[in-house]
Structure 1
Amino acid sequence: MSIARALSNALSGLAATARGTETIAANVANVMTPGYARREVALSTQVLDAGSGGVRIDGVRRMVNDALLSETRIALAARSEGDTLAAFFNQVEDAVGLPGDAGAISTALTQFESALIAASVRPDEDLRLANVVETAASLADRLNAASSTVQDARTQADISIGRQVMTLQTALEQVADLNRQIASFSSGGQDISALHDERQAVVDRIAEIVPMRSIPRDFDRIALFTAEGAVLLDGLEPARLSFAPVGVLTPGMQVGSGGVSGLIFNGDELSGETLRLFTGGSLGAAFAIRDSHAPQVQMELDALAHDLYRRFSDPAVDPSLASGQPGLFTDDGLAAAPPPALGLAGTIKINLAVLPDSGGALWRLRSGLQAGVPGPVGDGDLIVRLAQALNSVQAVAAPGPFTGRHDASGLAADLEARVASRRLSAEAEATRQGVRAANLSERLMAEGVDTDGEMQRLLQYEQAYAANARVIQAIDDMMNAILKV
């Protein structure tokens, strides 16, 4: 080997070690940077005139396990969905309450029942009659508050959908722009690893909103599809997504009945079953809360409210009432609509006829809600019938979410059991998906930057640097010796 070739080999080795140490420094510095992928210098043997010509730097490779990254993104979307639904069902359970809770609907119902029993023993005591009115009003207030919580959750879900769609559209445009930059720079032979990192971070943000898969395309571009097959980006133009939040939702505003917006996808409105293309992430969870889970809870609250209304508006219980007239409970002062009576839980109120502050009188609890004159103060028959109506086992009015025969307490217990069961199921699913996402994320991190491994590679580069430096030093010594001769 000639001195010139030996010097060329050594210099190429020094250049390779210098590039390698730069890569290690970048890896260690970005060990916690989202979207960053470990770099390795790609080297190959350089051949000159059919002989060894040292080492050639072919570029810097990003070390990414694409299959693991894809599964991690799916898991992160599932975790986001699980967390969103678990938070909603916890909120609903807090509003409805559990048996024994001070603020539970069943507790308010029990207190109302106790007040009726106490008043039936001494119907002449206005204090006991006032307690009946107070506990009945408290029960109505609990139903109002629970209904308000459900509709607030629907409204917040609707607002969240709008924010997420805007974020999704912006992120897709960013990926499309990065696709253009990567394709342009890669053709010029430039290092585009940083652009790949940025694109991966943007795609990771998209993946929490909707589960998606990334498919490689020519010129280092990628295409994005939802897990159910909707094309988000394939080429340089992303899909067009938009959504118009309603602002405030009411129980009557449901999918198919108008007033509720769907997701606009490339000019087509998706709602109901057609939204399955976007299920699985936080966006799908928000749609499910707004269009399915919250309306279901509202229907159950309305059914419980209508059951109370029906029990006390029966002329057989209170003969002073004409058919169709409201009894102790009203729909904001009016007669309630027949089942499903959407929104009744939010508008159920005490009949003003028994509220002294509103021109009513307590004696109507003894004599009848529509009685013209007070009857005997010791007559507690009506109050007894009111208590019996509350405890009587009756068939639940159809149509509605409940079936079978219940007393009022049994129906409330059924509602609370359903809410608690959904909360437990949602939390269990959120925990399962959280563990899966954490495990996959840890595996992905393990395949990323390992500082111990980077230090070992740095030692190898140092040894290679020293070896190449010794070759150059030896050549220098040889040249000096030749020149002295």
Structure 2
Amino acid sequence: MSLSVALQVAQSALSARQTQMATVSRNVAGAQDAGYTRKSVMLSTVTSSSGQPGGVRVDGISRTTDAGLYATLLRSTSVGTAQQALLDGLTTMATTVGDTELELSPAAQLGVLKTALQTAASDPNDTILAQDLLSAARDMALSLNQASETVQGVRADADAAIADSVDQINKLLGQLEALNSVIVRGTQSGADVTDALDSRDQVLLSLSEEIGITTLSQGDGGVAVYTDSGVTLFETTARPVTFAATNTFTASTVGAAVYIDGVPVIGDNAVMPISSGRLSGLAMLRDEAAPTYQSQLDEIARGLIEAFAEADQTAVNPDQAGLFTWSGGPAVPATATLSVGLASDIRINANADPDQGGDLDLLRDGGISDPLDPNYDYNPADNAGFSARLQELLEKLEAPMVFDSTVELDPTDSLSGFSASSVSWMEARRQTVTDNLEVQSVIVARTAESLGNETGVNIDEEMTRLLELERAYAAAAKLISAVDNMLDDLLSAAR
């Protein structure tokens, strides 16, 4: 090897070691940064035209990645955030259930109503007991009104959160577009784009929290992003995500759809519905879980109106709403048919409420539906000890009824059993989602840990590598010094 070649080898080694040490220092500095991946220098051997080695060349900076673990992290993050959004809403709705011993749920209030009926039936002429029965009925109707209000509040909050999620998705897609452009241009020009790649991965991870995604790497260094249902979110440019929030929710309100580039992905008309991400969880809450629970409350309300309805004692006219009525009264809602929003509409009949000009004795005698129509009077003799009507009402609360079959409960249960089943449905649904969330949380934590171990920075390893590079740097410096000495000797000999 000639002295010029030796000097070239030493100089290239010195330059390469400088770049490697700078990269190690960069790793140490970024070790605690979220999403930072370990960087390393790519080297290749330089050869002369004659095939002899002539040193090393820095070909660029690479980063450590694990595509499989990263894809798993994106997927598990999306599933976890969907479950969390759903659980938060279910927990709020569960406040309508509470502790049944605290008499917060419709089922507990129904128990109080039954007790008041039994007590009133034991002494039908007692005005105080009749007032207690009326108060229990009023509380029963109020519990359904408030539960319905809570459910619709949950739906409204979910709708507002959907709007926030859509805004965040659009913001992240804008960041993704900017970073992707930097990466594509840098890849084409041979610039170091590893930091931009780290930033893009972090944007994609944040995006996966909002909506389930899959990614596809492209040959120019760019990436294409699709929803978990296959709708294009990003390919060269970001696709617009649009949503029109609904200001007020009632039981009959249908939540608006979210569109990605004109394709609906949540809502009743979604042709390619997403299945994970916060957006999906909020949609499940707004459009499935909350409406189902609302329907159960509506059926409890209908069951109450039906159970307390009064029959024409001459069997000529139809049944009419008795102690419990609604805006459609005095008619009774259709049997076994869901009346949407009835839980928010049910109330006690003013004809039995002294505060509204009614008569407490109608609780005992019947005729609440129309005090002026004697055909609905169960006690025409006005016997003070008449208890048959109150006993009949007690029996109806425990008698089998036919409920709407779409509310995910037994459609042939008693009103008491149906109300208790609604409580069980809520708690079972919440427990299932809690269990799913715990599983996903473990998967996310383990995957993130494994990915960190694979791609993150180990300070001890980097410091060891730095010591090795320092020794290699010193060796290259010694080689240059030796060549310099040889050149001096040659010059001295030539004089």
Q: Aligned partners of 1:86, 1:341: CA distance in 2, in Å?
A: 27
> What's the offset of the Cα at 1:478?
4.4
Partner of 1:96: 97
> What's the offset of the Cα at 1:65?
0.9
Q: Is the 8 A contact 1:320 1:371 kept in 2?
A: no
Q: Deviations over 1:382-439 (max 9, x none)?
A: 3232223223x12314465344533322111111121122112111111112211221
Q: Deviations over 1:44-85 (max 9, x none)?
A: 112234322221111100211112211210111011112122
Partner of 1:357: 355
Residue 42 of structure 1: SS of its match in structure 2? strand
Q: Aligned partners of 1:400, 1:192: CA distance in 2, in Å?
A: 55
Partner of 2:65: 64
Q: 1:426 to 1:273 in 2, by over 3 A?
A: farther
Residue 229 of structure 2: SS of its match in structure 1? coil
Partner of 1:348: 346
1:453 maps onto 2:448 in alignment: no
Q: For residue 3 of structure 2, what is the amino acid of its counterpart?
A: I
Q: Aligned partners of 1:319, 1:95: CA distance in 2, in Å?
A: 41
Q: Deviations over 1:196-250 (max 9, x none)?
A: 122111111111122212211132111112222222222x222222110112221
Partner of 2:305: 309
Q: Aligned partners of 2:66, 2:15: CA distance in 1, in Å?
A: 28
Q: Aligned partners of 1:345, 1:111: CA distance in 2, in Å?
A: 18
Q: Deviations over 1:78-110 (max 9, x none)?
A: 111121222222222232345545423222111
- Structure 2, unmatched stretches of 5+, are none
Q: Deviations over 1:123-153 (max 9, x none)?
A: 2322211111111121222212221221111
Q: Is the 8 A contact 1:230 1:277 kept in 2?
A: no
Q: Aligned partners of 1:416, 1:14: CA distance in 2, in Å?
A: 74
Correspondent of 1:416 among 418, 423, 431: 423
Q: Deviations over 1:290-331 (max 9, x none)?
A: 222211111111111111110001317x99996353211112
1:464 maps onto 2:472 in alignment: yes
Q: Deviations over 1:254-293 (max 9, x none)?
A: 3xxxxx3212232244533735442222111111212222
Q: 1:27 to 1:436 in 2, by over 3 A?
A: same
Q: Is the 8 A contact 1:394 1:405 kept in 2?
A: yes
Residue 218 of structure 1: SS of its match in structure 2? coil
Partner of 2:400: 394
1:279 maps onto 2:275 in alignment: yes
Partner of 1:267: 262
Q: Aligned partners of 1:441, 1:284: CA distance in 2, in Å?
A: 22
> What's the offset of the Cα at 1:156?
1.5
Q: Is the 8 A contact 1:304 1:412 kept in 2?
A: yes
Q: For residue 350 of structure 2, what is the amino acid of its counterpart?
A: L
Residue 278 of structure 1: SS of its match in structure 2? coil
Structure 1 residues 429-438 or 260-269, which shifts more?
Answer: 260-269
> What's the offset of the Cα at 1:474?
3.2
Structure 1 residues 236-245 or 357-366, which shifts more?
Answer: 357-366
Q: For residue 428 of structure 2, what is the amino acid of its counterpart?
A: S
Q: Aligned partners of 1:319, 1:384: CA distance in 2, in Å?
A: 20
Where do residues 361-372 of structure 1 align in structure 2 (5 Å cutoff)? 361-368=359-366, 369=368, 370-371=370-371
Q: Is the 8 A contact 2:9 2:54 kept in 1?
A: yes
Q: 1:197 to 1:430 in 2, by over 3 A?
A: same
Where do residues 159-238 of structure 1 align in structure 2 (5 Å cutoff)? 159-234=160-235, 236-238=236-238
Structure 1 residues 106-115 or 398-407, which shifts more?
Answer: 398-407
Q: Is the 8 A contact 1:313 1:321 kept in 2?
A: no
Residue 103 of structure 1: SS of its match in structure 2? coil
Q: For residue 395 of structure 1, what is the amino acid of its counterpart?
A: M
- Structure 1, unmatched stretches of 5+, are 255-259
Q: Aligned partners of 2:314, 2:392: CA distance in 1, in Å?
A: 11
Q: 1:12 to 1:352 in 2, by over 3 A?
A: same
Taking only aligned residues, the RMSD between alpha carbons, in angstroms, comes to 2.6
Q: Deviations over 1:425-477 (max 9, x none)?
A: 11111111221122111111111222222222222212212222222333444
Q: 1:137 to 1:333 in 2, by over 3 A?
A: farther
Residue 43 of structure 1: SS of its match in structure 2? strand
TM-score between both structures, scaled by the size of structure 2? 0.89
Partner of 2:26: 26
Q: Aligned partners of 2:386, 2:311: CA distance in 1, in Å?
A: 18
Q: Aligned partners of 1:443, 1:214: CA distance in 2, in Å?
A: 20
Partner of 1:385: 392
Aligned-pair identity (%): 28
